[in-house]
Structure 1
Amino acid sequence: MIKTLACTLPLAMLMSTAAPAFAAVEISATAANPVVELSVTETVLGAPDTATFSTGVTSKAPTAQEALRTNSAEMEKVIAQIVALGIKREDIQTSGINLSADYEYGNDGRQPRFIGYQVTNQVTVKVRQMARLGAILDAVVSKGANNVSGPNFSIDDDSKAQTEARDKAMQRAQAQAMDYARRTGFTGVQLLAVSEATSNVSPMGMADMKRTSLQSEAAAPPIEGGQVGTSVTVNATYQMTR
């Protein structure tokens, strides 16, 4: 988009991590010539070194108290197994506990029949030993986990990938701004403002092994991490110069 401004614009360099946290430095700049505003995204691919999956136990019983008591006992076994596999407790986080009434549904048109209560306790687990991921999932199921979802792959420290993607995005933004300038009779550009946002992407999609009824005798599932991407989006405003 090209437009003419006659005002003072800030130069704001906004730095972001995977969870946006911004810091800004402002420098006044006056735009007397047309400006071009660009949004450029660059993605750098790399092999993941971290996987996150969700697992837990669903238990049923005639009373809420019994369902919760049974579920808690089973979940303690699952968590103990996760810790025994060498995963640190700071990499295990409860993601949800749900208690709900349980009904039996028939095909004869009658109203659902209340049969008790259902409790689900779910944890999210971060695995830093990718080669062991399949065996870890199998071991967790062997200790009573009856639902598993994920995994989601990521790079634990993607700061180098962010820097590379940022460099590429800024170079492309500069080149595009120069192209606009030349097309409209100008010879150069001056950067007035820039901001960025980062994100992680999986170009091949998330691995999906959602199962509602995993059996303890199941073999360790094969896991392929593929590649994940670190994306940086740069929003830049340039003034055209002569």
Structure 2
Amino acid sequence: MRLLPATLLLAGLCAAIPPATAGAEETLRRITVTGSAEVEALPDIATVSAGVETQASEAAAAMAANATAMNAVFAALEAAGIDRADVQTSRLSLDSIWENRSDGGTPKVVGFQASNMVTVTVRDIDRLGAVVDAVAAAGGNRIFGVDFAVDEPRAQIDAARERAVADARAKAELYAGAAGVALGPVLSISEGGGSGPSPAPVFARAEAMADTPVAGGTITLGASVEVVFAIE
């Protein structure tokens, strides 16, 4: 008689715990797909690296000449309408210049080279050519690394996100149909890394430049999502 209540209690507990196979089956009845999409956009902002490289026999002279030239570059950028907040020093260096000897002797320092580089943000890319010309006219002898971007890309990225979700659903429907199951509701969505911005080789705005020809072309912005669907 003492075992009867314990037996009944054990039976009740077993009935309350769902079978392990049921949980495993529920976990398996889903499909996970990745969707991606890209959109093209016209850039409205550009950055360019520019600066001055000077040489002299003495380190102080190289730095002094560089400072004079860079002050002229800063003044030219300001005259071109570039805000000081859009000019950032990216490199400042002083290096030794070594004698190039072919006789195997010990090389010695014969001079010094000073370099001062800035990254300039141009918020009107139609004036990028004029800005580059202004830097060169002021004494800038190092100009490279032009990059284009969209200043406020939220709208384009959101459009890519919507298309990425639609791409994920299309893939899931294809897989579900091929497997002979019905696609259920969305269980989860997680965003992956975007694919942009990246430049596309399209020279659509070259004719807008009246000075040094610079083409903005288009850039590509992308989005990627992982979507988990239930299957029925």
Instruction: Work out whether the TM-score is over 0.5.
Output: yes
Structure 1 window deviating more from structure 2 (221-230 vs 140-149): it is 221-230
Distance 2:103 2:38 in 1: 55
| Residue 84 (structure 1) aligned to one of 60, 76, 79 | 79
Offset of residue 35 of structure 1: 3.2
Q: CA deviation at 1:111?
A: 5.2
Query: Would you say the 8 A contact 2:187–2:228 is kept in 1?
Result: yes
What is the aligned counterpart of 1:126 among 118, 121, 125? 121
Q: Does 1:163 align with 2:158?
A: yes
Residue in structure 2 matching 1:150, options 133, 145, 150: 145
User: Greater shift after overlay, 60-69 or 169-178?
Assistant: 60-69
Do 1:177 and 1:189's aligned partners in 2 also have CA atoms closer than 8 Å?
Answer: no
Match of 2:229 among 222, 230, 238: 238
Distance 2:216 2:161 in 1: 24
* Equivalent position to 1:61, from 56, 60, 67: 56
Determine if contact 2:197/2:219 at 8 Å carries over to the other structure: yes
Q: Is 1:50 the counterpart of 2:45 in the alignment?
A: yes
Which residue is equivalent to 2:69? 74
Distance 1:39 1:110, change over 3 A: farther
Shift of 1:190: 3.0
Specify the alignment match of 1:96 in structure 2.
Answer: 91
Q: TM-score normalised to the size of structure 2?
A: 0.78
Is the contact made by 1:178 and 1:189 (CA closer than 8 Å) also made in structure 2?
A: no
- 1:201 and 1:231 in contact (8 A); partners too: no
Give the Cα–Cα distance (whole angstroms) in 2 for the partners of residues 104 and 189 of structure 1: 74
Distance in structure 1 (CA, Å) of the matches to 2:171 and 2:58: 66
> Structure 1 vs Structure 2: percent identity of aligned residues?
32
Runs of 4 or more consecutive aligned structure 1 residues displaced over 6 Å after TM superposition: none
Give distance in 1, aligned partners of 2:93 and 2:36.
Answer: 40
> C-alpha deviations, 1:40-87, integer Å up to 9, x for none?
321110111111100000111222222222212211110111011101
In the other structure, the counterpart of 2:198 is: 201
State the aligned residue count: 202
> Counterpart of 1:123 in structure 2: which amino acid?
V
Mapped to 2, the partners of 1:64 and 1:138 lie a distance apart of 29
Cα offset, 1:178, TM superposition:
1.6
CA distance in 1, matches of 2:202, 2:111: 38
Asked if the contact 2:36–2:165 (Cα under 8 Å) also holds between the matched residues in 1, the reply is no
Alpha-carbon offset, residue 146 of structure 1 = 0.4
- Which piece of structure 1 moves more, 64-73 or 145-154? 64-73
Q: Give the match for residue 228 of structure 1.
A: 219
Contact in 1 for aligned 2:44/2:149 (Cα 8 Å): yes
Cα distance in 1 for partners of 2:228, 2:72 equals 56
- Distance in 2 between the 1:126 and 1:57 partners? 17
Q: 1:145 to 1:37 in 2, by over 3 A?
A: same
Q: Which stretch of the first structure deviates more once superposed, 170-179 or 95-104?
A: 95-104
Whether the 8 Å contact between 1:40 and 1:233 is mirrored in structure 2 is yes
Q: Give the corresponding residue for 2:11.
A: none
Cα drift, residue 93 of structure 1: 0.7
More strand by share: 1
Question: Within 2, Cα distance between the matches of 1:98 and 1:36?
Answer: 55
Tell me the CA shift for residue 191 of structure 1.
Answer: 2.3
Mark the runs of 5 or more structure 1 residues left unpaired by the alignment. Answer: 1-5, 8-29, 207-218
Instruction: Tell me the residue number matched to 2:15.
Output: none
Question: Aligned equivalents of 1:101 and 1:169: distance in 2?
Answer: 53
Q: CA distance change for structure 1 residues 189 and 119 in 2, over 3 Å: closer, same or farther?
A: farther
